[in-house]
Amino acid sequence: MADMQNGNMVTIVLSGRIDSGNAQQSEQEILAQLEGKNAASVVLDAENLKYISSAGLRVILRLKKAYPDLRIINVQSDVYEILEMTGFTEMMTVEKAYRVVSVDGCEVIGEGANGKVYRIDQDNVVKTYKNADALSEIQHEREVARLALVLGVPTAISYDVVRVGDSYGSVFELLNARSFAKILAAEPEKMDFCVEEYTAMLKKIHSITVPDGKLPPFKDKILGAIERIKDTLPDGLGEKLLKMAQDIPDRNTMIHGDCHTKNIVLAGDEVLLIDMDTLSVGHPIFEFVPMYNAYVGYSEYDPDVVLHFQGYNAETSRKFWHDTLAAYLNTKDENVIRAFEEKVRCMAYAYLIDRSIRHAKAGRDDTPEARALWTGRLIELLPRVDSLDFDPESEAPAANELTLEATAENLHEVLDFVDANLEKIDCPMKSQMQMNLAVEEIFINIANYAYAPNKGNATVRIEVGDDPVTVTITFMDRGVPYDPLKRSDPDVTAPADERRIGGLGIFLTKKVMDDVIYEYKDGQNILMLKKAL
């Protein structure tokens, strides 16, 4: 037998057999190893113990009485069976020995701050941990994953714990599973599918109420980060940020806490959420803080960061982030999307700055240039953000207003929006066709010229008045100031070789509408089209 002491804990290694022939001697050897040591707890390492009889069990029982926190670890299956049938597993902590798994040559299918995920065969993956004493982490993740499954979240449950090198791993059955990150990297045409399924998963977990005390509040992480960095911000902005975060209402709804495309997988036809160790509760807006950092924040200074982490480029990452926000908020209104994103960014930058500072103090990799970038953007954001709370239903755009990017590709969405509103008032078909013609001419002009060579947003609003019933369609954009009504009408009687190129769009609009009014106000071009029905 051998002993190892770690603080007030003494580990004693058992080997061979402990039976009636040597039980007394074994007990004396154990007590001799404990003599003179200030042992608050004792651990028996039974990795090399092949057999134990009732005489050996009595030795363990006496040790348990002397050291109430006694644990037995690395117990082989035959010995564990004896301890289980005699009730020892009920009266003390008894941990089975773990089978050893090698990941040499295995495909790495995911990697995070705490470990890696390897595919060890066609059906199974193992999540390894960098922390050599990861058993408590594994136990926590298995418990919260079971809780999530019971509450209705489709996830994978670890069915085994194994030794991998000097640490431990959790084994999951994930038959032919592919992460959304791998799907987006290999098949970018499946972007819409991934956004739809990913958003559905987010809404599902955010609708689940968790029993009190089962999961930690995510808000505490955000408040801790802001508290640590608030004094680095000028002009009281740190206190403002802290107060806004504190004012976010507490909720007992589920948050994954690390929901990026490497942690959502397609296994056959089933979409599963994995890596459940960050599971928390709180206001849904907190979910988007680590999401923003995964898709945008970490790579704002170096775009290659997202390529290394997710496996696809920064352009794909930013599109996925934007489209997910639009789908989650159920809007194409860029003003609503931007307002929500700015609230998220305030907390995301605070988290990034805090993480960077802590890494620098610990002597780990740190990029002060990135931290300076995040700090500058946070300082720029905070003066124009007055609340971090967000209710998508109350802040959604009015049903009669649409804001979207002014591109020719978006014309069909504008026409669908106009038609949907006109159908509500039983608009005559001829008038509807005339208004569609005018809408197309005006929107395409905005798309082609308002922001050229760049891009920008346009807002379309529809209002209906009474006596007589009149439809007003208003276009608003923040492009270069331009009054199309100042342009003279083309001479439609002139022969073709004398005609000017252009000008027909606004001419047709004036012909089919009853009135067209332009003004430039508050930095916006505003063009109103009126049609009496």
> Could you please report the per-residue DSSP string of 11-40?
EEEEEEEESTTTHHHHHHHHHHHHTT---S
SS3 of residue 481 by DSSP: coil
Domains of the chain: 2-96 (3.30.750.24), 107-173 (3.30.200.20), 179-395 (3.90.1200), 401-532 (3.30.565.10)
Asked if 194 and 261 count as a contact pair (C-beta separation under 8 A), the reply is yes
Prior bond to 468 cis, omega within 30? yes
pLDDT in the model for residue 282: 96
pLDDT in the model for residue 499: 44
> CA–CA separation, 533 vs 522, rounded Å?
31
> CA–CA separation, 126 vs 105, rounded Å?
13
> CA–CA separation, 225 vs 289, rounded Å?
12
pLDDT in the model for residue 504: 66
Q: Which residues contact 375 (CB under 8 A, 6 or more apart)?
A: 232, 233, 349, 353
> Could you please report the per-residue DSSP string of 297-354?
GGGSS-THHHHHHHSS-HHHHHHHHHHHHHHHHT---HHHHHHHHHHHHHHHHHHHHH
Structure-token pair, residue 402: 């649409």
> CA–CA separation, 200 vs 181, rounded Å?
17
Residue 57, burial from CB neighbour count under 10 angstroms (0-12, 13-18, 19+): middle
CA distances (Å), origin 299, targets 47, 293, 360, 418: 46, 8, 18, 39
> Could you please report the per-residue DSSP string of 406-451?
--GGGHHHHHHHHHHHHHTTT--HHHHHHHHHHHHHHHHHIIIIIS
**Beta-bridge mates of residue 35:** none
pTM of the complete model: 0.66
Residue 42, burial from CB neighbour count under 10 angstroms (0-12, 13-18, 19+): buried
Residue-level pLDDT, tens digit, the chain, 533 residues: 555 555 578 899 999 999 888 989 999 999 998 888 776 789 999 989 999 988 899 999 999 998 899 999 989 888 988 998 988 988 899 988 888 899 999 988 766 667 788 888 888 888 888 777 777 888 888 888 888 888 889 988 788 888 888 888 888 887 678 899 999 999 999 999 999 999 999 999 999 999 999 999 999 999 999 999 999 999 999 999 999 999 999 999 999 999 999 999 998 888 999 888 899 999 999 999 999 999 999 999 999 999 998 999 999 999 999 999 999 998 878 888 999 999 999 999 999 999 999 988 877 766 889 999 999 999 999 999 999 988 755 555 566 888 888 999 999 999 999 998 998 888 899 899 999 999 998 999 999 999 988 888 899 999 998 878 899 999 999 999 999 888 877 654 545 454 454 556 788 888 889 999 999 988 899 999 999 98
